[in-house]
Structure formats: structure tokens, C-alpha cells
Chain A
């Protein structure tokens, strides 16, 4: 299996290099995103250069529709697809433990199976350790059990991600990271500059050669929604341990004020991304990973939606079942983070930092 991946990797990198050398002699796409100025700084491309370019690419597809050398031309350029392949293979290669990467990237069924397992685990936990008493959720799953499951689940992804990023950084030759680099990368993430088409017109995703900001906005909603939800959960932890304020929280509490808009944004954003994905041409991405990517986006959306439904169901008989579904979804999302599309956030950010270092 791992042998296959490495041969595959060479194939994808070699193909991306072939294409980049043609791009470098043309340069018409310089203004679309950060990939092309980075490409045009080089005269030859090492494997690491190609990996860095691939992780810098946000798959906006502007360059594909503008390209005079796409099929049926003999040069057969398809930069978005070539870089998608390299990018996904790099995440799979960096995944630790090795070999866990491929499954969830490629297979929607594997993601779904993980989700079923996560929900089953939560049901089992609720059934096995049903608390004698408690308020709100804690009536069905004690705070102790929740912490016992989720503290490791939240912390665990950090290790493989750290190990992967460390390998990435060494491979692309990253230097010591300064505040200026982080600031630039954060600014580009915050406004998704690389999905802006270079001039704010957006990308060429769901309506072919017409520009649209739909994907950029959906991605923003997803990103910010996820961060708000994460902040909501963290604020709950702080309130619980720092101030002795235990759930359930009222609407005008920090966890709810962060969590409700976060959940709404995450739900709308992720389901919009999924819908846009059904409209876009799969041949301009990593076609073999479409299923895994789609399942991941839906999992994100389900995480947001589950939280909102759970809030709406407060006090009803639905709470225990919705709780199991929601917690199972969250658990799956976190445990899969280093091995699914979720990891792209970390590598993309690293690529942006690296690019900030390399820019003249």
C-alpha cells in the first residue's frame, strides 16, 4: 500500500512539474493567486517546490479556464487537478501513523463508517455510564464521562498534525517563523485572498468560466463558523473550570453567543460548499478523492447542524438521541482531523507562511 502511494506520488509530482515548466514559459496567469508568482521565481522545480506550490493552490480554477493549453491541446494542462493530486498525496504521505491517510481522503464510505462508529460509541457511553442525576446534557452523559472521551479526542489530533507539519516544513525548506510571516498568512486566510481571483471577482468553480464568489464566501462561513464553535466549546470549559459555572447555559452566555452564530455559519457554509462541489467539474480536482472530500464537508455541516438541533430540542424527549448523534459527529470530526480534508487547513496555512518567507 505505502509503496503504491510513493510511486503514485512520484507520478503526480512529475506530472505537476511538466505542467509548471510550461506555465513558467507563459506566465499569463500571474495575477490570479500566490501560486504563479511563487512558480515564476524558479527556473527548475524540485519535488519540494512542487509540494509547496500544491499546498499553496486553493483550487480556484481561474488558471484552468484561462489556459490556452488545456485539452484537446497536446500540452494538456490542468494545473488545478495536477496540484490537487500532489496536495492530497502530500497530506497522505505526512499522515502519522503512516497509511491512515489514504482511506479517509479517498473514501466517503470510510468517513461514513467512522461516523457510525463515533455515534455508536456515544450511545454505548450513554447507556453504559448513565448518570444518576444531572442537568441538561449531563442528565444523559455525566460531565466526567464527556471529559474522559473528548479531552483526548480534542487533544489527540494535535500530535499527528504537528509531526506532519514538521515533516512538511523540513521538506519545503521553511526557515524560522517570524511574526510578519504569520501575520501575512493570517491575513490571506482571513480574507481567502487565494479564492478571490486576484481582483475580488472570485473563482471559476460552479459556473465554469464565469467568476463567482460563492465558494469563497461559503468557505469563509465554514471557517469562521468552525472557529466560533470551537471558541464556544472552549469558553464553556473555561466557565466550568475557571468560574464554576456549569452547563446548561442561557442564550446570553458566552458559549451560546459564540456557538449559535458559529453553528449557523458552519452549517450554511459547509452545506453550501457541498452543493457547489456537486456543480463543479470533478476533473479539475483530485477526482479519486471526490468522495472522501464530499463526506468530510458533509460531516462538517452535520457537526454544525447537530449542535443547532440539539439546542432547539432543549427540554424535549429528543435530547438523548440528538445528543448521541451530535457528540458522535463531533468525535468523528476531531479524530479524523489529521487523516481527512480537515488537515488541509494546517498545511495550507504552513504553505502561506512559507510563501510569505519566500516572497521578495
Chain B
């Protein structure tokens, strides 16, 4: 493209993931000239959206691939439960209500949905899965944006947002080793969280953060967010709060995505590096507990856990990308996992002794609970007795951080001096406005789509 600094753009979008693309498409459809700046190279465009798989959506009756109905109150209750009340009810309910009209909008802009994936049937009512996953969604939006005349620059690293007297006028961006100044009438901030910036994570978490794995894009380093916070933008969220799950400890530091997910926890005994249990593995069905284990493992010595199962359980969960460690004895498995053999044997023996007869039912809360064990395992407590034994190392996998920009119902960013006249934020950079803690599967894409669209509409209206 020609030199982007030669024009004053109607709308500049920082970040080319789901939220940024929704904003760009809405603005371009309203006649605005739009420039997307994405820090990643083209192959890695789309931020974390590249790794996503579904969109949590309210609906009154069957809608597209979604079965039955999922109403506002049930959706909001689900959110309240995972956030333990730490949410903004007004923004949350607005997001939930708007999700319903978003799904047809997404389809009209190229996104294709497919029925719930095998192994995820419990989500068929609440979450619409993208055919091909998030990268296919991102591709569809980039094609739609291109057809609308949106300009995109990849490997464009926004270093500074120029804000004076409550107004954005332009930004500095490194492109091809040169810093350029690009002028714009409005700005949409959709550059994600800061989870790929381990130093920043360590400021909040301490040295524990050095043992975290980052499940998604290595490009969400929070540079734009930091620049906005340094300029006094109102922030929301606790810097230690994030979407974090327990993933295979052998995963790469960045970008391993969905395939390192381990679904074996409910059927396992999980111990720390001392071979001791620390939490009820059978608390609830896995999708509802998936998002707490990241923090649980983060709270253990060296931020590591180990899930142990036996041959009875090996086919009860979806396979993950790395094969488990295998041994014919618990001590042998301990050796392979680098655990103290005696301690692990004692833990497994104590657990086995606390198991009670009953019917094991992998897909339901089966009530098969231990007795006299602390902490208890309240479901799927089947003795681990049938070799070979299998073990997986668990580490904390951070999906995205919640500390971000505070926005209002129009997605507008503010400072202590009041609302900024022409700056909006959407997606993970403002998700903390709704997610105080905890996570609801598919809700990140809902927040991104709803606020991305609002931001694009607002920005276009501002320049109209």
C-alpha cells in the first residue's frame, strides 16, 4: 500500500484480531476509511482469535448450530458463578443480549459455524463453534474487510498513541524498522492483553510468572495498553487475574493453543512436586472447572502439577498432543515424572483406600466420592489400580490477562478528566470491564464481537 502516513484516516484500528476486525468492518460499511495495524506478521495475524473455537451466544430458540435455548438470565447466572460476582452487571447483560444478533451478523460477514465438536457435546446449547476454528473466522473477516476497502499493515508495532486534551490525533508506529506517524480522526484499541509480556506478568505474580506458559499469540505484549495506562487512561481489573488453565507442561512457551489442553483431571489424582494432592479433582464436570486449574497449579511449588491416571481412564478423555509418561508401577511413574516415589505411592494408596464402591459414570456427576480424604475427591473417585499407569505434567497456561481499559456502554475509553472524545476499546484489552475473575468458555469472543461492533459503529458515526 502507499505510505499510510500520507492520509488522515477516519478510523485507525490497533490490533487485527476478532474485535479489531469487527470494528473495521462496521466502520467501513458506514463509509469510513479504515486502517488496521497488526503487530504480527500475516501468517500469525488475528491475535488470540486465531486459536479460539467458539462464541457463547444467548438465543431464544434453536439458532444456526445452537440447540434449544439459552436465555439472558441463565447466561448471566453462568457468568456470575465463574466470576464470583466480580462483573459489571449492566455491561455484562448488554453483552449477553447483543450476542444474539451478533451470530447472524457474523454469518453475514463470512463466518461459518459447525455443530459442537466431538468431545464437546455439553456446549452444543451455549456455544456456536466456528467451522475450522478461529483462524477461519479471522480469514473470513480479513476477506470481508478487504472487499470493503479496509487497509491492513502487518508487522506494524504501535509504540505511542498521541492524546492531548482528551482527543486522539495520531500515533507512532514502527513499520519495517522505521517509525512513522499516522494521523487519524478516531482510534479503536483492540490490541489484546499483555500476557505475552512475561516481565509485566512477573510484576504482578512475582517470579512464579516465569514458569507460566502462554497459550496464544506471542505478540500480545501490551505495549498499547501500557502506553494508554501511562497516559492516565482509566483501568479496570486485577493484574493477577487472567484466563489460565492447566495445560501439558511440555508445551512451548508460546502459541501451543488448544492441543496441549488436558481433559484428564476429573479422572485423575493431581499432585504437586512433593507428590501431595491439593484440590478436589472431581468437583464438577470438566468444562465448568477447566478454567480454575491454571490458578490452582500456579499456587503450587514451582507452579507445576502432575495428573496420574491408570489404564481404566486412558480412553475417557480427549487425546492431547503429547503422549503421557507410562509405567507399570506407581514408583516407576514417579521416577519418570521426577516425583518422590514414596510420597506418590502413599498419596495414591491413601486415595485408593478412601474410594468407595459405586458406578463410575464419566459423562455425569456420578457422586462417586472418597471418604475421609482431605481434600476429598467428590466425583469419579475410582481407585487407580490398573497398570500401566499414566502421568502428565501440568503447568499454568495463560490465555489472556484481564487488567485493561475501562469502557462504558459505547465502548468509549476515559481518563480521570473524563471520556476521551474519539477513542474506543474492544476485545481482550477491555474484557476486564466485565470479567473480574474466572472465565466462561466462548465469552472472550462474545465480548470482542459485541464491543468491536459497537466501537466501529461509534467511530464511524463520529466522523460522519
**Bound complex: CA A62 to CA B43 (Å):** 16
- Encode B46-58 as 1/0 by CB contact (under 8 A) with A: 0000110100000
Binding-face segment, B253-261, B395-403, B435-443: B253-261
- Find chain B residues with CB under 8 A from A210 CB: 143
Tell whether, in the assembled complex, residue A21 and residue B321 are in contact, meaning their CB atoms are under 8 Å apart: yes
- Encode A15-32 as 1/0 by CB contact (under 8 A) with B: 000000110111111111
Counting CB contacts under 8 A, is B312 at the interface?
no
Tell whether, in the assembled complex, residue B132 and residue A43 are in contact, meaning their CB atoms are under 8 Å apart: no
Counting CB contacts under 8 A, is B315 at the interface?
yes
Most buried by A among B131, B139, B255: B131
Counting CB contacts under 8 A, is B134 at the interface?
yes
**B366 nearest CB across to chain A (Å):** 23
Tell whether, in the assembled complex, residue B259 and residue A25 are in contact, meaning their CB atoms are under 8 Å apart: yes
Tell whether, in the assembled complex, residue A27 and residue B117 are in contact, meaning their CB atoms are under 8 Å apart: yes
**B58 nearest CB across to chain A (Å):** 23
Tell whether, in the assembled complex, residue A73 and residue B133 are in contact, meaning their CB atoms are under 8 Å apart: no
In the complex, chain A residues 50-81 whose Cβ is within 8 Å of any chain B Cβ: 62-63, 65-75
Counting CB contacts under 8 A, is B112 at the interface?
yes
Tell whether, in the assembled complex, residue A198 and residue B321 are in contact, meaning their CB atoms are under 8 Å apart: no
**B164 nearest CB across to chain A (Å):** 40
Pick the residue among B131, B135, B257, B259 that contacts A31 (CB under 8 A). B131
- Find chain B residues with CB under 8 A from A198 CB: 114, 131
Tell whether, in the assembled complex, residue A26 and residue B259 are in contact, meaning their CB atoms are under 8 Å apart: yes
Tell whether, in the assembled complex, residue B112 and residue A28 are in contact, meaning their CB atoms are under 8 Å apart: no
* A72 (CB) vs chain B CBs: closest residue: B43
* A44 (CB) vs chain B CBs: closest residue: B319
* B53 (CB) vs chain A CBs: closest residue: A28
Pick the residue among A22, A28, A40 that contacts B132 (CB under 8 A). A28
Tell whether, in the assembled complex, residue A43 and residue B319 are in contact, meaning their CB atoms are under 8 Å apart: yes
Tell whether, in the assembled complex, residue B119 and residue A69 are in contact, meaning their CB atoms are under 8 Å apart: no
* B248 (CB) vs chain A CBs: closest residue: A25
- Find chain A residues with CB under 8 A from B131 CB: 31-32, 66, 198-199
Counting CB contacts under 8 A, is B390 at the interface?
no
Tell whether, in the assembled complex, residue A73 and residue B255 are in contact, meaning their CB atoms are under 8 Å apart: yes
Counting CB contacts under 8 A, is B31 at the interface?
no
Tell whether, in the assembled complex, residue B139 and residue A68 are in contact, meaning their CB atoms are under 8 Å apart: no
* B131 (CB) vs chain A CBs: closest residue: A31
Counting CB contacts under 8 A, is A46 at the interface?
no
- Find chain A residues with CB under 8 A from B117 CB: 27-28, 30
- Find chain B residues with CB under 8 A from A70 CB: 43
**Bound complex: CA A32 to CA B135 (Å):** 14
**A116 nearest CB across to chain B (Å):** 44
Tell whether, in the assembled complex, residue B321 and residue A40 are in contact, meaning their CB atoms are under 8 Å apart: no
- Find chain B residues with CB under 8 A from A74 CB: 252
**B391 nearest CB across to chain A (Å):** 17
- Find chain A residues with CB under 8 A from B319 CB: 21, 24-25, 43
Counting CB contacts under 8 A, is B2 at the interface?
no
Count of chain B residues near A, Cβ 8 A = 34
**Bound complex: CA A69 to CA B133 (Å):** 12
In the complex, chain B residues 115-151 whose Cβ is within 8 Å of any chain A Cβ: 115, 117-119, 129-136, 139, 142-143
**A44 nearest CB across to chain B (Å):** 9
Pick the residue among A25, A32, A62 that contacts B318 (CB under 8 A). A25
Counting CB contacts under 8 A, is B320 at the interface?
yes
In the complex, chain B residues 276-333 whose Cβ is within 8 Å of any chain A Cβ: 315, 318-321
Pick the residue among A28, A32, A63, A209 that contacts B258 (CB under 8 A). A28
Tell whether, in the assembled complex, residue A26 and residue B114 are in contact, meaning their CB atoms are under 8 Å apart: no
Tell whether, in the assembled complex, residue A22 and residue B259 are in contact, meaning their CB atoms are under 8 Å apart: yes
Tell whether, in the assembled complex, residue A40 and residue B315 are in contact, meaning their CB atoms are under 8 Å apart: no
Q: Known contacts A22-B321, A74-B252, A209-B139; is A37 also within 8 Å of B259 by CB?
A: no
**Bound complex: CA A27 to CA B116 (Å):** 10
Counting CB contacts under 8 A, is A201 at the interface?
yes
Tell whether, in the assembled complex, residue A68 and residue B51 are in contact, meaning their CB atoms are under 8 Å apart: yes
- Find chain A residues with CB under 8 A from B255 CB: 73
- Encode B22-47 as 1/0 by CB contact (under 8 A) with A: 00000000000000000000011000
**Bound complex: CA A74 to CA B51 (Å):** 15
Q: Known contacts A25-B258, A198-B131; is A31 also within 8 Å of B114 by CB?
A: yes
* Chain A to chain B: the 5 pairs with minimum beta-carbon distance, closest first: A66-B132, A28-B133, A31-B114, A66-B136, A25-B259
Could you give 30 example pairs across A and B, Cβ below 8 Å? A21-B319, A21-B321, A25-B260, A25-B261, A25-B318, A25-B319, A25-B320, A26-B259, A27-B119, A28-B134, A29-B133, A30-B114, A30-B117, A30-B118, A31-B114, A31-B115, A40-B118, A40-B119, A65-B132, A65-B136, A66-B135, A66-B136, A66-B139, A67-B132, A68-B50, A69-B257, A70-B43, A71-B43, A74-B252, A198-B114
> Which residues in A have some Cβ–Cβ distance to B below 8 Å?
21-22, 24-32, 37, 40, 43, 62-63, 65-75, 198-199, 201, 209-210
6 new A-B pairs (CB below 8 Å) besides A65-B136, A66-B132, A68-B51? A25-B320, A26-B133, A30-B114, A63-B132, A201-B112, A209-B136
